[in-house]
Copies of this chain bind each other. A is one copy, B any other.
Amino acid sequence: MGISTKKRLSPADNAPLNVEDCISGFGLPRRFYTSTGIYENDIKNYWNCSWIWVGHITQVSKPGDFFVFDYSQESVIISRDREGQVNAFMNVCRHRGSRVCTEKSGSTRVFSCPYHAWTYELDGQLRSAREMGPEFDRRDYRLRQLHLRIFQGLIFVCAGDAPPDIEAGLQDIAPLIAPFNIENTKIAHHASYLVSANWKLAIENYMECYHCGPAHAEYSLSHSLKDPKSITPELISEMHRAGEIAGLPIQDFALNGSDVDMHFFCQRYPLYPGYVTGSKTGAPLAPLLGELKSYDGGTTDIQIGILNNFLAYSDHMIGYRFIPISLQETNIEVIWFVQKDALEGKDYIIEDLTWLWHVTSQDDEQIISLNQKGINSHYFTPGPLSEMEWGIRAFYQNYLRMV
């Protein structure tokens, strides 16, 4: 048609991941949130190679108990075997690849694949397979095992061959969170919020409280983190004084940086006067956790690796996960923990207990989706991070090192 040039289209979806394009102190380039190739790589090199918090020991309290944890296209079975050992393995049959376990949780003697009945033990070993001929050795076909670590009742798994070193960090934060006695909690409630955004935008949202003031009216009434300047020495020392009495002499702790495999973080910060916990009225929501004797008016941010975040009030704890579903779909999962013997309806009311982080997560659902929409524009350019967004920088360091 009178035009004879070959024109090159945009870089392929699988063009090399040019980490040098990332500018220190700024957001990541658009492609990190819009490329299918980068998403696949995120799952393979970040998620599958990280420690992921999957649940609590009360979910596998007896031999035969199991539950399934899914992320992106991966599915993991966590089960307690007859010897009492907790195991994690991929929910992928070694025969033709079917999901082996189709229930979310339960109790069983074996896992029998619904397709051809290959049957696996509670520790993932292949127990039986029909008609496979004399050459076949069952021992070659156990379900792929994941690394597993139980820490104060919290179960972590890592699918990759060389999991990041977690022990040093766990030892450092162990005494700081011991007073909550997480091992002796139970899951009171579980909620999911589907966000139309890449998982990294959900993580970034949780990594900073710069947005709390503008976006979270309810949270901002009670949580001083929304405005670092409001965390006065007086507020801190009042919390520490009350902490001594309560039995919570907590210290802050951070292990992070560009040369660290796993980020650990633990910081207690004050609620505003009138609030003893994350409740609507400021009043208690449940029996005190662990050996705590009273309220200190604070709450503890706990990070065990970028992906696993917790918030421990004096009377309940919340776990946060940001589960990738697809390139621009993420499930924000929120899990509420209370003291193990607390009785629902008597010692705590679900609606009251979950109020704050339910409304806060609903806000986040909106703002994170709007973030993705804007980034999808060809005219998006990464902007400068504010001083309150240091947590995002820590995430980027860790992320860019691993992918």
Q: Is the Cβ of B74 less than 8 Å from the Cβ of A2? A: no
The yes or no answer to A11 lying at the interface (CB within 8 A) is yes
Q: Is the Cβ of A375 less than 8 Å from the Cβ of B97? A: yes
The distance in angstroms between the C-alpha atoms of A156 and B160, with both chains bound, is: 49
8 example contacts (A-B, Cβ-Cβ < 8 A) are as follows A6-B18, A7-B16, A9-B14, A73-B378, A90-B379, A98-B367, A116-B214, A133-B386
Q: Is the Cβ of A370 less than 8 Å from the Cβ of B40? A: no
Q: Is the Cβ of A116 less than 8 Å from the Cβ of B386? A: yes
Residues from 17 to 60 in A contacting B, C-beta threshold 8 Å: 17-20, 22-24, 27, 30, 37-38, 40-41, 43-44, 48
Binary B-proximity of A118-152 (CB < 8 A = 1, otherwise 0): 00000000000111110010000100100000000
Report B-chain residues with C-beta under 8 Å of the C-beta of A113.
214
Q: Is the Cβ of B383 less than 8 Å from the Cβ of A97? A: yes
Residues from 72 to 100 in A contacting B, C-beta threshold 8 Å: 73-75, 90-100
The distance in angstroms between the C-alpha atoms of A1 and B381, with both chains bound, is: 17
The yes or no answer to A241 lying at the interface (CB within 8 A) is no
Closest 6 CB pairs of A and B: A117-B214, A73-B376, A97-B375, A97-B374, A95-B383, A6-B16
Q: Which residues of A contact B (CB under 8 A)?
A: 1-20, 22-24, 27, 30, 37-38, 40-41, 43-44, 48, 73-75, 90-100, 102, 112-117, 129-133, 136, 141, 144, 159, 204, 210-211, 213-215, 258, 366-367, 370-371, 373-384, 386-388, 396-397, 400-401, 403
Q: Is the Cβ of B37 less than 8 Å from the Cβ of A386? A: no
Report B-chain residues with C-beta under 8 Å of the C-beta of A383.
93-97, 141
Q: Is the Cβ of A19 less than 8 Å from the Cβ of B40? A: no
Report B-chain residues with C-beta under 8 Å of the C-beta of A12.
12-14
Q: Is the Cβ of A115 less than 8 Å from the Cβ of B370? A: yes
The distance in angstroms between the C-alpha atoms of A92 and B380, with both chains bound, is: 6
Q: Is the Cβ of B41 less than 8 Å from the Cβ of A10? A: yes
Q: Closest CB of chain B to A159's CB: distance in Å?
A: 7
Q: Is the Cβ of A16 less than 8 Å from the Cβ of B8? A: yes
Report B-chain residues with C-beta under 8 Å of the C-beta of A8.
16-17
Q: Closest CB of chain B to A16's CB: distance in Å?
A: 4
The distance in angstroms between the C-alpha atoms of A114 and B92, with both chains bound, is: 42
Q: Is the Cβ of B377 less than 8 Å from the Cβ of A92? A: yes
The distance in angstroms between the C-alpha atoms of A133 and B389, with both chains bound, is: 12
Q: A1-B258, A14-B9, A214-B115 are in contact. Are A73 and B377 (CB under 8 A)?
A: yes
Report B-chain residues with C-beta under 8 Å of the C-beta of A213.
117
Which residue from B48, B99, B129 sits with its C-beta under 8 Å from A370? B99
The distance in angstroms between the C-alpha atoms of A17 and B1, with both chains bound, is: 14
The distance in angstroms between the C-alpha atoms of A183 and B100, with both chains bound, is: 44
Report B-chain residues with C-beta under 8 Å of the C-beta of A14.
9-13
Q: Is the Cβ of A97 less than 8 Å from the Cβ of B371? A: yes
Q: Is the Cβ of B1 less than 8 Å from the Cβ of A374? A: no
Report B-chain residues with C-beta under 8 Å of the C-beta of A144.
379
Q: Is the Cβ of A91 less than 8 Å from the Cβ of B374? A: yes
Q: Closest CB of chain B to A89's CB: distance in Å?
A: 10
Closest to A141 in B: B383
Report B-chain residues with C-beta under 8 Å of the C-beta of A15.
9
The distance in angstroms between the C-alpha atoms of A5 and B18, with both chains bound, is: 7
